[in-house]
Amino acid sequence: MEILKKNKAVVRFLGVFFGTYIVLTLAYQFYLDNVESEVYFPEPITHIVALQTESLISFFGYETKIIPSHYDPSMRLGINGNYLVRVVEGCNAMSVIILFLSFVLAFKKDWKTTLLFILAGSVLIYAFNILRIALLTIGIYEIPEYQELMHGTLFPIFIYGFVFLLWIFWIRNYRTEEKPIHE
């Protein structure tokens, strides 16, 4: 018990981080298991990510289209009639946002600042993820020989590196209010 008292901050961080991560992951899995939509295939969040990615690619000047896959729960995304990528549930950034949120809550400052940072960070991660999928799709279209490098290495670094930078920003600006010592 003495070791727990000496490392109270570490134990608290780990408890909040893993507790939040587990609860949010279970809640998200419950959502995935229970949401059914004939309009938003394969499920609403992934479908909206695919639609927004399609719009961004179009904004960049490419003729693009998404269609539901007949082979798996995904949206197929293409440029100029070539369907290049599948937008699956794992592409919607929800698991990354859950990881981000769990870490920030474990380093909670005051509730207002923490919740504002979680909201802003989640929106930024979501938007950055759409940019990531759009750039990956365009990259596969323009230089298909680098598909594995882009999908397997560069673009995961892109999204997780961004989350890491948000964490660093949060930690650097995280200050616990020191309680005055009463004599």
pLDDT tens track, the chain, 183 positions = 787 778 888 888 999 999 999 999 999 999 999 988 778 889 999 999 999 999 999 999 999 999 998 888 889 999 998 888 999 999 999 999 999 999 999 988 789 999 999 999 999 999 999 999 999 999 999 999 998 999 989 889 999 999 999 999 999 887 555 444 454
Give the model's pLDDT for residue 10.
87
Terminal CA-CA length for the chain? 28
Q: What is the pLDDT of residue 181?
A: 47
How much is the pLDDT for 175?
A: 57
Asked if 114 and 104 count as a contact pair (C-beta separation under 8 A), the reply is yes
Q: What is the pLDDT of residue 176?
A: 56
Cα distance between residue 16 and residue 19, in whole Å = 5
Q: Alpha-carbon dihedral of residues 93, 167, 134, 85, nearest 10 degrees?
A: -40
CB atoms under 10 Å from CB of 73, counted, come to 14
pLDDT at 23: 98
